Amino acid sequence: MSALPWQQSNLSESQEPQQNSINSSASPLRLVTNAVLTEKMPYAQILSYLVPHTSDSGGVKDSDLYNTLVENTGSSGSSNKLSFRSDDEPRNIISHEHFKTKPQQSFFTSLQAWEGIVTQVMDNAFLARLIDLTHTGVDEEAEFPIDEISEEDKALITPGAIFYWDIGYHTSYSGQRTRKSLIRFRRLPAWTQKEIEAAQREAERIGKAFGWQ
Amino acid sequence: MAGNNVNIAPERSEIEVSLFGPGYGESIVLHLGENLWLIVDSCIDPLTGDPAPLTYLHHLHIDLATSVRWVIATHWHDDHIRGLGRVMQACESAEFVCSAALQHKDFRTLVMAYGHYSLMESPPVQEFFEILQALAAQGQHRPGKRPRPPILATPSRCIWQNTLEISGQNHPCSIYTLSPSDASIVLAHSHIASLLPQPKATKLRIPALTPNYTAVVLWVNIGETFILLGSDLEESGNPDTGWSVIVGSRTYPLGKASIFKVPHHGSHTGHHPQVWQDMLDTTPIAILTPFALGNVSLPTEQDVERICQQTEQPYATAMPQNRRRRGRPQVVEKLIRDTVGSSMREVYSSTGQIRLRANLAEMPISWRVELFGDARLLRNIYR
């Protein structure tokens, strides 16, 4: 049988198991910690269950730990040493929800989107040509106050810069829905010497083909 | 006038000049007679999304592959070049004509850099990239598989000369490029060099070349009929650039044009009084496309007044200020207003075609003016 995640010892000395540091009678984690301590689970691994987002210690993902734990706490005739559950105890000592549930994330539902190209920059505003990404149609243009742009994007406002403008609903962690207009400037990589040299070679090749060189 | 059937092809003995715009810019289709066609610049038909000249010629049942002999890019501004790559691909036997300023290696480097590596679409260079691809594809059918190089427009360069026999009469015909001047080419080279990508510089969409040094002006004569297509050539007062060079030169066939495509959307920056005095009939038909960007609308009311003083027959393809605000759901509308106020407008909402035809079999020739879409007399564009 291959080693279980917590049997793979890749901890530093400072992370050596410290059995005594956890009070086994502390409720409601009593069952978990009892089992863990019984098997001399590394302290860092214990923390990975108890503290969100620390599960990478030991190189194991949440989902792997979860699957392994559920398998080992199931009712099948597993010979695993973690079968500490008695029939009187609840089946899922380590609840599914503990591992499955992720924090509710905020999200954005777009109703209308454009790609914009800055055509002219004035003192407090810039003019942009807008290509409708939601419906086809003639290009549009609009004048955007520079104050509408986030501080980190302001430096990117220059003729030829490309941005995306989204209008839609923002739903927060708590489920609250608000209307939003979002403008994000596209960050393109810089030109590389290699790209420029390749373009020069192509230009030379075309010139030769036309008999210009 | 308006209401005529736009899809009737001209007779072989008819000259046609059709101006489209400003659906993403302007384009001219020219029939020299005897099914010889010329396309100058390209814009997008808002209904089909295809290049307007291709849509039009398709409706006339013209064989693009054999009948279109020249495709000319007068300059590489966004409003004159959209769809030109597709035009070149469709017109398989056409020769490509562009400004001599674009022969420079720096320009090709620019095209390859932005066409290949920019990670974004930069329409003008993208179109040139496609044109180069079309020329390479054409080259596959030529000896040595060498692509046919573009014809480079320079002052007073004859790009074609022949005699057309129309209705039993011989008509000497020629097409001349009148610009860009030598000095303009040098200026354009230095400007193009300044746009070349530099290592570690952030990638941006390429800006337009302004002011316009490289625009190609065309002088077409069919028999005794002359046509002056002014592109977007501007006049800066510098005797070595712009219209000053053209009016000071008489190295192209002398004559007075009866048709004038007014340069630079009727703007005063494209106006040179000597053009009207020396190169045009007393009452030429003047045609133009409007232009709108931000708060700039061309031609202005002053421009309209000036042009109307020069001729009794000025026409525009559309109305520059007729720019709609597109309707959207209320919640979207409210947030648009909160963000950009009432500044949001379509780039253009009005588009049309001016078609001029004259039959060479009828002497003296007289031009028939047909207006389609929003095209109208110039004096009416602000009414």
- Is A124 at the interface with chain B, CB within 8 A? no
Partner residue facing A161 (CB), from B197, B204, B343: B204
- Could you tell me which chain A residue has the CA closest to the CA of B340? A144
Measured distance CA(A213)–CA(A207) in Å, rounded: 6
Please state whether the predicted TM-score (pTM) of the whole model is above 0.90: no
Partner residue facing A190 (CB), from B110, B200, B326: B200
Partner residue facing B149 (CB), from A167, A195, A211: A211
For B323, left (φ over 0), alpha (ψ -120 to 50), or beta? Answer: beta
Q: Decide if B297 contacts B330 (C-beta within 8 A).
A: no
Give, for all 383 residues of chain B, the pLDDT tens digit: 444 588 999 999 999 999 999 766 899 999 999 999 999 999 988 778 899 999 999 999 999 999 999 999 999 888 899 999 999 999 999 999 999 988 999 999 999 998 887 767 777 888 998 999 899 988 888 888 889 999 999 999 999 999 999 888 899 999 999 999 999 999 999 989 998 999 999 888 886 666 677 899 999 999 999 999 999 999 988 899 999 999 988 788 889 999 999 999 999 999 999 999 999 999 999 999 998 877 788 999 999 999 999 999 999 999 887 677 888 999 999 999 999 999 998 887 778 999 999 999 888 889 999 999 999 999 999 87
- Could you tell me which chain B residue has the CA closest to the CA of A129? B347
For B41, left (φ over 0), alpha (ψ -120 to 50), or beta? Answer: left
Q: Is B166 exposed, middle or buried (0-12, 13-18, 19+ CB in 10 A)?
A: buried
Element holding B243 (H helix, E strand): helix B242-247
Residue B137 main-chain phi, psi, to 5 deg = -65, -40
- Is A196 at the interface with chain B, CB within 8 A? yes
In chain A, positions 91-120, which contact chain B (CB-CB < 8 Å)?
111-112, 117, 119-120
Q: Which residues contact A106 (CB under 8 A, 6 or more apart)?
A: A170, A171, A172, A173
